């Protein structure tokens, strides 16, 4: 299955609106654009934050992730198909249903993340969330197509959220050890996502986000993953921060 490429202008508008709303600015998809930072190669700043190589991390966690994806694949596929048809009816073009963007994956390897498009230019040319788009963003259902990235091996269900290449460059300069989180495969959800709200591009907030990602890396367990999945599922109706005080590095 080959995913359609999104229109460049719509991507530019959606990225600009995200920036004006306080979210990190994002760049439009440029499939031919090379990574502008070196892939992670055993950096010195990951020694204390690497996941402990327990049997759970090595074998159980990947197997449970695959089983969970398989178990929910049918209802999720039906949901994605339904939302895709609704999106297609709204946008009337396949290329506008999905929003694709280049992000930094495990060890800094770039990949294209998939989301439902939630914004469309108005009469003045300014991109604004559609009614359906606002609902998708609030409920985080716009992230559902990222199960494609999980099946493709670029992402996992739980892990640090992948950032844009530009933000990776910024973080490498402004946040010490920022790339240490790239030792894990990026996730659809993670500890930082259930503790923090959307994070503006501010060094202090990203240092806290990095701390949460490193805490997860050093305390991965079945209980932690189950709690993160549970908090992710109930967050749209109970947007209360996840109490992570019980998590301790191994």
| Tokens of residue 178, six digits | 């920022």
61 falls within a domain: yes
pLDDT of amino acid 47: 45
pLDDT of amino acid 78: 72
Distance from chain centroid for Cα 113: 8
pLDDT of amino acid 75: 72
pLDDT of amino acid 246: 63
Q: How many domains does the chain have?
A: 1
Question: pLDDT tens digit string along 170-223?
Answer: 999 999 999 999 999 999 999 998 888 777 788 899 999 999 999 999 888 888
**Running DSSP on this structure, what letter comes out for residue 146?**
G
Report which of residues 227 and 42 the model is more confident about.
227
Question: pLDDT tens digit string along 61-102?
Answer: 677 776 776 666 667 667 777 777 776 766 666 667 888 999
| Tokens of residue 101, six digits | 């963007």
| Alpha-carbon dihedral angle through residues 187, 96, 199, 214, given to the nearest 10 degrees | 10
User: Would you say residue 168 has pLDDT above 70?
Assistant: yes
205 falls within a domain: yes
32 falls within a domain: no
b/e per residue, 221-245, with b = 16+ CB within 10 A? beebbebbbebbeebeeeeeebebe
> What is the Cα–Cα distance from 211 to 207, expressed in whole angstroms?
6
CA 105 vs CA 26, 43, 132, 168: distances in Å: 16, 16, 29, 11
DSSP assignments along 156-222, one per residue: EEESPPP-BHHHHHHHHHHSTTGGGGGGSPPEEE-HHHHHS----S-HHHHHHHHHHHHHHHTS--H
43 falls within a domain: no
Mean pLDDT of the chain: 76
Q: Which helix (H) or strand (E) holds 227?
A: helix 222-234
Question: pLDDT tens digit string along 12-32?
Answer: 556 555 544 444 444 444 444
Q: 224 Cβ partners below 8 Å, 6+ apart?
A: 191, 216, 247
> What is the Cα–Cα distance from 42 to 210, expressed in whole angstroms?
18
> What is the value of pTM for the model shown?
0.68
249 falls within a domain: no
Strand partners, 98: 116
**Running DSSP on this structure, what letter comes out for residue 7?**
P
pLDDT of amino acid 43: 41
Strand partners, 113: 101
User: Would you say residue 105 has pLDDT above 80?
Assistant: yes
Residue 105 · residue 113 · CB < 8 Å: no
41 falls within a domain: no
Percentage, residues of the chain above pLDDT 90: 28
Percentage, residues of the chain above pLDDT 70: 60
28 falls within a domain: no
Q: Which helix (H) or strand (E) holds 98?
A: strand 98-104
Range of the domain at 156: 8-16+49-234
């Amino acid at each position: 299955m080959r995913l359609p490429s999104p229109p460049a202008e719509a991507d530019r508008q959606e990225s600009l609106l995200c920036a004006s709303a306080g979210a990190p600015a994002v760049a439009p998809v440029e499939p031919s654009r090379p990574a502008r930072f070196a892939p992670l190669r055993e950096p010195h700043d990951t020694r204390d934050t690497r996941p402990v190589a327990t049997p759970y991390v090595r074998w159980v966690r990947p197997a449970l992730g695959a089983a969970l994806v398989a178990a929910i694949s049918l209802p999720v596929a039906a949901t994605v198909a339904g939302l895709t048809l609704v999106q297609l009816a709204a946008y009337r073009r396949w290329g506008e249903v999905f929003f694709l963007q280049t992000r930094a994956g495990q060890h800094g390897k770039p990949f294209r993340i998939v989301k439902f498009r939630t914004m469309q230019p108005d009469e003045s040319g300014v991109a604004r969330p559609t009614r359906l788009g606002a609902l998708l963003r609030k409920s985080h259902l716009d992230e559902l197509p990222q199960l494609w990235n999980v099946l493709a091996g670029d992402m996992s269900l739980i892990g640090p959220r992948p950032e844009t290449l530009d933000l990776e460059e910024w973080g490498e300069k402004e946040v010490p050890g920022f790339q240490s989180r790239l030792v894990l495969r990026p996730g659809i959800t993670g500890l930082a996502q259930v503790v923090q709200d959307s994070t503006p591009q501010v060094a202090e907030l990203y240092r806290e986000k990095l701390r949460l990602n490193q805490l997860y890396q050093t305390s991965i367990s079945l209980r932690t993953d189950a709690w993160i999945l549970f908090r992710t599922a109930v967050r749209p109706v109970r947007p209360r921060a996840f109490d992570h005080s019980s998590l301790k590095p191994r």
